[in-house]
Structure 1
Amino acid sequence: MYGNPAEDKLPYGLSKLLERVTQVIRAHTEPIDPSFVERIIASLTSLRAFANSLARDSDRAEDLVQETVLRAISKQEQFEPGTNLQAWLFTILRNQFCSDRRKLLREVEDGDGSYAATMIAIPNQEDRIMIHDLESALGSLPPGQREAVLLVGAEGLSYEEAAQVLGCAVGTIKSRVNRARSYLVELMGLAPGDRIAGSRHAQL
């Protein structure tokens, strides 16, 4: 019912995640809106990328995505139709991650650019070098700026939606994104109007 006809074309890790999530959904005893489930499944790639950027561990990231799906299904009535489902899912995922990290009394870090790596296709050697530089530059950003620029620049969320995900004011998001973009442009030696090649939405 909830299978994906293109599942056999997905990367192995994502295919296995989809299989796990599908099993979780099928095991859910309460009625579920099939269209709601389909929209969640369509967001798995982005959820996995965001989870990787937070957890820096593929197994933990997949657990986070599975937990996010379970919570989203159990809280389906709290989702407001007409709003951005992906932003809502990002919020659940990040809240779950932060809750887990608070229990371990550790700080959130993302020094290896894992999220950037999941977002980028590498068409040629020149872009490969650019992407390596981008991963390093993203890893050197403060966590708040990195999350903001990835959500707005890579995932295409509005400032308002990113503010919802990160739990801060819209003005704070705008400031973080502007500072992050300026830093990335300066660090990578680009002109102010340049966009960084290879990102999913070419908005960084």
Structure 2
Amino acid sequence: MSHAPRNSTADEGLELRNRVVELLPALRAFARALTRDRSEADDLVQETLLKALSNIDKFEPGTNLRAWLFTILRNSFYTDIRKRKRESEGLSMLGLQSSNAGPEQEWALTLKSLEEALKHLPDDQREAVVLVGAAGLSYEEAANVCNCAVGTIKSRVNRARTKLLTLMGADAAMDVVGADAITLSTAQSVSAGSD
């Protein structure tokens, strides 16, 4: 009895879709860090996925899918900002975020403090620290996403961490950003998941 050959293109497509689904929490966390608004972040992730699917033929198998998706998300974010400026809608909505009272545990307070401190970072620093710390990208991958030199990303991350230390107070910030990238990643994931 002969078996029909497996369709390797279909198998590759299914594997690619599964990898994209695994990256959704990281994409959402990055979008939240950029937009500072849950609803806008969800819209940005959806737009990113639509663009990625319509341009899937441009993705080179074997390359970094996460960096490719983050680049699409970042470019979409900045395109939307330019579009809003042209339409004179302004950017005031980016700073608005509905308050959500979470549990009053120490970790929740630290997380809230981190979220607030991240809002006060310049966009380029917030973007760099989220890509490297929360999304787990290497400095090289983050530099590719941001279309800048590796040294620039390292500098932005360093300045962001220093400013977070100042904004949050040294002890609280060290608990979150000084310990390691996993801690910041956890903080961002918890923040994205608590919506």
Q: Same fold (TM over 0.5)?
A: yes
Within 5 A, what are the aligned runs for 1:7-156? 33-105=13-85, 106=90, 111=95, 125-156=105-136
Residues 174/97 of structure 1: CA separation in 2 closer, same or farther (3 Å cut): same
TM-score (norm 1): 0.68
Residues 58/184 of structure 1: CA separation in 2 closer, same or farther (3 Å cut): closer
Fraction of identical pairs, as percent: 52
User: Could you tell me how far apart the structure 2 residues matched to 1:49 and 1:139 are?
Assistant: 14
Amino acid at match of 2:138: S
Structure 2: state its 5+ residue gaps: 1-9, 186-195
Task: Say whether 1:201 aligns with 2:182.
Answer: yes
Q: Runs of 4+ in structure 1 displaced over 4 angstroms?
A: 106-114, 197-200
Q: CA deviation at 1:74?
A: 2.2
Question: 8 Å contact 1:113–1:139 — kept in the other structure?
Answer: no
What is the CA deviation profile of residues 152-200 of structure 1, one whole-angstrom value per residue up to 9, with x for unaligned ones? 0111111111112222211111000001111212333326x93417998
Aligned length: 168
Residues 133/63 of structure 1: CA separation in 2 closer, same or farther (3 Å cut): closer
Structure with more helix by fraction: 2
User: Could you tell me how far apart the structure 1 residues matched to 2:96 and 2:164 are?
Assistant: 15
User: Could you tell me how far apart the structure 1 residues matched to 2:37 and 2:167 are?
Assistant: 27
Residues 75-84 or 38-47, more deviating:
75-84
Task: Say whether 1:178 aligns with 2:158.
Answer: yes
Higher relative contact order (CA 8 A, sep 6+): 2
TM-score (norm 2): 0.71
Amino acid at match of 1:201: I
Amino acid at match of 2:182: H
CA RMSD of the aligned region, Å? 3.3
